[in-house]
A = this chain, B = another copy of it.
Amino acid sequence: MKRIAVLTSGGDAPGMNAAIRAVVRKAISEGMEVYGINRGYAGMVDGDIFPLDARSVSNTLSHGGTFLRSARYPEFAQLEGQLAGIEQLKKHGIEGVVVIGGDGSYHGAMRLTEHGFPAVGLPGTIDNDIVGTDYTIGFDTAVQTATEALDKIRDTSASHHRTFVVEVMGRNAGDIALWSGIAAGADQIIIPEEEFDINTVVANVRDGYENKGKSHHLIVLAEGVMSGEEFAAKMKEAGDTSDLRVTNLGHILRGGTPTARDRVLASWMGAHAVELLKEGRGGVAVGIHNEELVESPILGTKEEGALFSLTDDGKIKVNTPHKARLDFAALNRDLAH
């Protein structure tokens, strides 16, 4: 393979630039040329494609976001979109692609591979909800950012005997809430993967103030459960009498300088994607499992270790859904005395 391209797709995540840099530098060290594609699959179809050299990615390692920009582009699920994209790849002499993003990005990578353009997926999202990897690029940074914000909220809540409901991102996954909640010493963590009883939540708040000598109460809520405002309203309905405030950390979790760990992970994965393309392999996604890099077929059967399979009616099905660590939820209950 003489020339490859790299794009970012879906929601952006800290560390995407580090992954792009690794793809570029590793490819150059392997004697390949590298092109960047702006705005994900949309830019591929539009031909928004340009050469990158080693210096193009200088000083990007520590920057949040993605300098190739990202976009959602559902049209790429259709054959027409795929063919338009491939025409552009051909035009630029590109033989393989690295796609950094989430589930949707992986499906596009699968299609490109089927059409003869090996594509490799890298898991880029703060939510940690992508199958085939223990950790996604961006998750560690989002947890760190959330923890720092929770530390600040703890300062003010402890000064005022307040109860805080802090909503954190994570789509349908509770991972950010769990990790940042443990790290910040949350009194309660509410995640979509676990049932909760609002009366118990309120009773815990009261117990903390009345029997445990707590000077404040911090509840970390994953957005997949409901909004912070809704949750607070339910608490009040259930009889909470504390000085209750709501904060939504919102989009600050998506940005920011990536942590060292995310930069290392992204660099390692980016280099590995190039190695796979060099061997002509595509249709796979890179993950980290048990501290080593692994790659899984994107499409196939569960037995083959594939991430997704097609149902009889042609829909895409996740073979082994991501699971939050419920032992961490139990751990936090033990530590929240």
Contact = CB atoms under 8 A, between A and B. Distances in A.
Given A69-B160, A268-B331, A291-B134, A247 B252 contact: yes
A134 B261 CA distance: 14
A159 B252 contact: no
A268 B248 CA distance: 27
Interface in A54-73: 54-55, 58-59, 61-66, 69-71
Contacts of A184: 61-62, 260, 263
Contact of A179 (B11, B144, B152, B264): B264
Interface in A137-179: 140, 143-147, 149, 151-161, 164, 179
A245 interface: yes
A143 B65 contact: no
A335 interface: yes
Contacts of A62: 151, 184-185
A124 to B, nearest CB: 11
Contacts of A252: 149, 152-153, 247, 249
B155 A267 contact: no
A94 interface: no
Interface string A1-43: 0000000100110101000011001101100000000000000
A44 interface: no
Interface residues of A, number: 82
A322 B54 CA distance: 34
Copies in the complex: 4
Interface core residue of A140, A184, A250, A328 (most chain B CB under 10 Å): A250
A214 B53 CA distance: 12
Nearest to A270: B335
Contacts of A157: 251
Contact of A55 (B145, B146, B213, B248): B213
A256 interface: yes
A159 B40 CA distance: 11
Contact of A331 (B55, B66, B259, B267): B267
A191 to B, nearest CB: 15
18 contacts: A12-B159, A12-B160, A16-B159, A22-B335, A28-B337, A65-B158, A69-B160, A144-B261, A145-B152, A147-B260, A151-B256, A151-B257, A156-B254, A182-B263, A247-B248, A247-B252, A268-B331, A271-B335
Given A54-B213, A259-B259, 16 more contacts: A12-B159, A59-B154, A61-B184, A64-B152, A65-B156, A69-B159, A152-B251, A152-B253, A152-B256, A153-B252, A154-B255, A183-B263, A183-B264, A267-B335, A268-B328, A290-B291
Interface of A: 8, 11-12, 14, 16, 21-22, 25-26, 28-29, 54-55, 58-59, 61-66, 69-71, 134, 140, 143-147, 149, 151-161, 164, 179-180, 182-185, 212-215, 245, 247-257, 259-261, 263-264, 267-268, 271, 290-291, 328, 331, 334-337
